[in-house]
Amino acid sequence: MIGRQLRRIGIALWAASLIWGTSFAASVHAAPNPYHTSANASALVDVKSGRILYSENGEQSMRIASLTKIMTAIVAIEHGKLSDRVKTSSRAVGKEGSSIYLQLGEEMTLLNLLYGLMLRSGNDAATAIAEHVGGSEEGFVHLMNEKAEMLGLTHTQFKNPHGLDVDGHYSSANDLAKLTAYALRNPVFAEIVSTKVKSVPNPHEKWQYSWTNKNKMLAMYEGADGVKTGYTKKALRCLVSSATRNGQQLAAVTLNDRDDWVDHRHMLDWGFKNYPLMEVASKGQTIAGYPLAVGNSFYYPLAEEERGSLQSRLVVIDMATMNYKLGERGALEWYLNEQKIGSIPVYDIGSARMSLPERKPMSDAALLHDYKKASGEHESFIHSITAVIGALF
Whether residue 325 lies in the annotated active site: no
Instruction: For 128, list phi and psi in degrees, rounded to 5.
Output: -65, -45
Spatial contact of 103 and 95, defined as CB atoms under 8 Å apart:
no
What do you get for the CA distance between the two ends of the chain, in Å?
Answer: 36
Handedness of CA 125, 128, 132, 137 (dihedral sign): positive
Report which DSSP code applies to 142.
Answer: H
Query: Of these residues, 42, 49, 66, 98, which one is catalytic?
Result: 66
| Residue 69 a catalytic site member | yes
Residues 226, 244 contacting (CB under 8 angstroms)? no
| Catalytic position from the list 42, 48, 49, 69 | 69
* Catalytic (active site) residue 66: yes
Type of residue at 247: G
Q: Which of 269, 238, 243 is nearest to 253 (CA)?
A: 238
The DSSP secondary structure of 41-103, one letter per residue, reads EEEEEETTT--EEEEESTT--B--GGGHHHHHHHHHHHHS-TTPEEEPPHHHHT--SS-----
Please give the angle made by the CA atoms of 386, 390 and 392, to the nearest 5 degrees.
Answer: 120
* Inter-CA distances, 16 with 287, 302, 341, Å: 11, 16, 14
Q: Are 291 and 349 in contact (CB under 8 A)?
A: yes
Q: How far apart are CA 319 and CA 3, in angstroms?
A: 7
| Rounded CA separation 302/280 (Å) | 10
The total number of residues shown for the chain amounts to 393
Q: Pick the catalytic residue: 121, 171, 194, 312?
A: 121
| Cα separation, 153 vs 257, whole angstroms | 22
- For 192, other C-beta atoms within 10 Å of its C-beta total 22
Cβ-based burial of 204 (10 A; exposed 0-12, middle 13-18, buried ≥19): exposed
Nearest Cα to Cα of residue 54 among 256, 217, 227, 275: 275
- Sorted by sequence, the CB contacts under 8 Å of residue 311 that are 6+ apart come out as 14, 15, 16, 334, 335, 336, 338
Question: What sign does the CA torsion over 98, 103, 108, 110 have?
Answer: positive
List residues with catalytic annotation.
66, 69, 121
